[in-house]
Amino acid sequence: MAEQDIPSSPADTPRVLIVAGEASGDQHAAQLIEQISKLAPEIHFSGIGGECMKRAGVEILIDSAELAVVGLVEVLIHYRTLRGALERMRQRLRDERPDLLILVDYPDFNLRLAKTAKALGIKVLYYISPQVWAWRQKRVHVIRERVDMMAVVFPFELPFYESAGVPARFVGHPLTEEVHSALTRDQAAARFGLDPTRPIVGLFPGSRRGELQRLLPLQLAAARNLQAEMPALQFILPRASTLNEDSIDAHLHEAGIEVKRVSADFYDVIQSCDAIVSASGTATLEIALMGKPLVVIYRVNPISYRIMRRLIRVDHIALCNIVAGQRVAVELIQDAATPEAIAHELRQLLTDPTHAARVREGFARVREQLRGEHRSIDIANLTLEMLGRTANTD
């Protein structure tokens, strides 16, 4: 387990343990920590996270890249690693007795850790809700028992939790403030060494190693198919901090197609694209907020998929479509995610202006919905409230 060597904090320093098990959670947690540190710089943070949280000053106990798995079968395969990380964090709670535990998404791990915190009398703030409104809704009873406050980011989550007797505050979705690029499309293309006069397709395989293995070969095969018909096409691939460069390069070498791989400035990458094929996840919402035409794909282990199909209670899997309440972006899931189908949908977005405009219009409504609700309190001040503190504005 990777650790960051940071000196221990004084005994009277407020201590917060924070857990973000995936790349998107790492990003949101880092933003939260930066906001809190401006208001109360004396607070010490430690926990599970990645590069973003490390840069924000968190004492990293376990690298989140080691825990980024999805699917029921995949979790079983990595059970020993996940179990070891959970036990280590439980021991940290017992030994350190932090003033607050902040959990960011990653529900199966985090709700178990919340149980230990509750037994120790440690307050629990849950930021970025598990999608209990989509599947396994009975988990809301577990949340009511183990979580002191839910900080929800979608307007429709607030009445769901309130009806279940779970204390909740709507804090607004962090992406509405985070997602932007200062560059035009042509400026972004030039920044990454691409020709602004030629179309650009983004290949976004996700932030987990399993996603990379299952989805990137499909995306690259679709890219080959498309480029055979449209030789002017260019491709760009952003690397999540949780993914190893060598594993990506191995896929690119095997595919035999030129792809610009970049490791930073994710929103500038989105800005440079004319169309994108992305793994289902937070990225679909980020792409939607930037108004870029999108095809969503996903595959998990076949056994995991059959089980999850029986549990899911929503009509869509992509967050952009869930918020929109309709299928704005095409979803190609499991066996439907083939190179031919991906290439077909991308071709439609690139060559049919009317179709692409409909997608952009749908995404504009998504942004309006996420910004349409008044924020009763922001997440940084909610955190300070739970710590029994007020902001230091000196």
Q: What is the DSSP string of 286-332?
A: HHHHTT--EEEEE---HHHHHHHHHHB-SS--SHHHHHHTS--SEEE
Contact call for residues 216 and 251 (beta carbons, < 8 A)? yes
Q: Could you tell me if 152 and 24 lie in one domain?
A: yes
Q: What pLDDT score does 332 carry?
A: 95
Which long-range contacts link 8-13 to residues 24+ away (Cβ below 8 Å)?
9/44, 13/42, 13/43, 13/44
**Is it the case that residue 252 has pLDDT exceeding 80?**
yes
Q: Could you tell me if 363 and 215 lie in one domain?
A: yes
Q: What pLDDT score does 68 carry?
A: 60
The residue-averaged pLDDT of 28-54 equals: 94
**Is it the case that residue 349 has pLDDT exceeding 50?**
yes
Task: Give dist(CA 152, CA 150) in Å, integer.
Answer: 6
Residue 23 banded pLDDT, cuts 50, 70, 90: confident
Task: Look at the pTM and tell me if it is higher than 0.75.
Answer: no
**Is it the case that residue 298 has pLDDT exceeding 70?**
yes
Q: What pLDDT score does 233 carry?
A: 97
Task: Give dist(CA 297, CA 281) in Å, integer.
Answer: 10
Q: Could you tell me if 70 and 167 lie in one domain?
A: yes
Contact call for residues 44 and 13 (beta carbons, < 8 A)? yes
Q: What pLDDT score does 84 carry?
A: 92
The residue-averaged pLDDT of 178-188 equals: 95
Q: Could you tell me if 210 and 358 lie in one domain?
A: yes
Tell me the pLDDT tens digit for each residue of 92-140. 999 999 999 999 988 889 999 999 999 999 999 999 988 776 566 788 9
CATH number where 378 lies:
3.40.50.2000
Q: What pLDDT score does 155 carry?
A: 81
Q: Could you tell me if 88 and 134 lie in one domain?
A: yes
Residue 4 lies in a domain: no
Tokens matching residue 108: 């199966």
57 versus 299: which is more confidently predicted? 57
The residue-averaged pLDDT of 196-203 equals: 98
The residue-averaged pLDDT of 324-334 equals: 91
Q: How far is CA 62 from CA 37, 92, 101, 229, in A?
A: 21, 12, 15, 46
Q: What pLDDT score does 182 carry?
A: 96
> Average model confidence (pLDDT) for the chain?
87
75 versus 259: which is more confidently predicted? 259
Q: Could you tell me if 147 and 271 lie in one domain?
A: no
Domain that holds residue 131: 15-172+373-386
Q: Could you tell me if 191 and 56 lie in one domain?
A: no
Number of H helices, E strands in the chain: 18, 13
- Strand order of the β-sheet with 200-204 is 260-262, 234-238, 200-204, 275-279, 294-298, 330-333
The residue-averaged pLDDT of 363-382 equals: 76
Q: What pLDDT score does 308 carry?
A: 62
Q: What pLDDT score does 2 carry?
A: 45
Task: Give dist(CA 274, CA 226) in Å, integer.
Answer: 14
Residue 325 banded pLDDT, cuts 50, 70, 90: confident
Residue 352 lies in a domain: yes
In this structure, the chain runs to a length of 394
Residue 312 banded pLDDT, cuts 50, 70, 90: low
Beta strand spans in the chain (E): 15-20, 44-49, 59-63, 100-104, 124-127, 149-152, 168-170, 200-204, 234-238, 260-262, 275-279, 294-298, 330-333
The residue-averaged pLDDT of 19-30 equals: 89
The residue-averaged pLDDT of 184-210 equals: 95
Q: Could you tell me if 20 and 126 lie in one domain?
A: yes
**Is it the case that residue 375 has pLDDT exceeding 70?**
no
**Is it the case that residue 389 has pLDDT exceeding 90?**
no
Residue 86 lies in a domain: yes
Residue 105 lies in a domain: yes
Residue 7 lies in a domain: no
Q: Could you tell me if 317 and 243 lie in one domain?
A: yes
Task: Give dist(CA 355, CA 96) in Å, integer.
Answer: 55
Residue 224 lies in a domain: yes
Q: Could you tell me if 378 and 367 lie in one domain?
A: no
Q: Is 93 helix (H, G, I), strand (E, B) or coil?
A: helix
Tell me the pLDDT tens digit for each residue of 63-81. 988 776 544 444 555 568 8
Give percent of the chain above pLDDT 70: 87
Residue 244 banded pLDDT, cuts 50, 70, 90: confident
The residue-averaged pLDDT of 250-267 equals: 90
Q: What pLDDT score does 337 carry?
A: 94
Q: What pLDDT score does 134 carry?
A: 59
Tokens matching residue 324: 């929109």
Among the ranges given (151-165, 212-226, 378-392), the one the predictor scored with the smallest mean pLDDT: 378-392
Tokens matching residue 342: 């991906």
The residue-averaged pLDDT of 354-369 equals: 93
Q: What pLDDT score does 53 carry?
A: 96
Residue 215 banded pLDDT, cuts 50, 70, 90: very high
Q: Could you tell me if 74 and 199 lie in one domain?
A: no
Task: Give dist(CA 28, CA 259) in Å, integer.
Answer: 28
Residue 178 lies in a domain: no
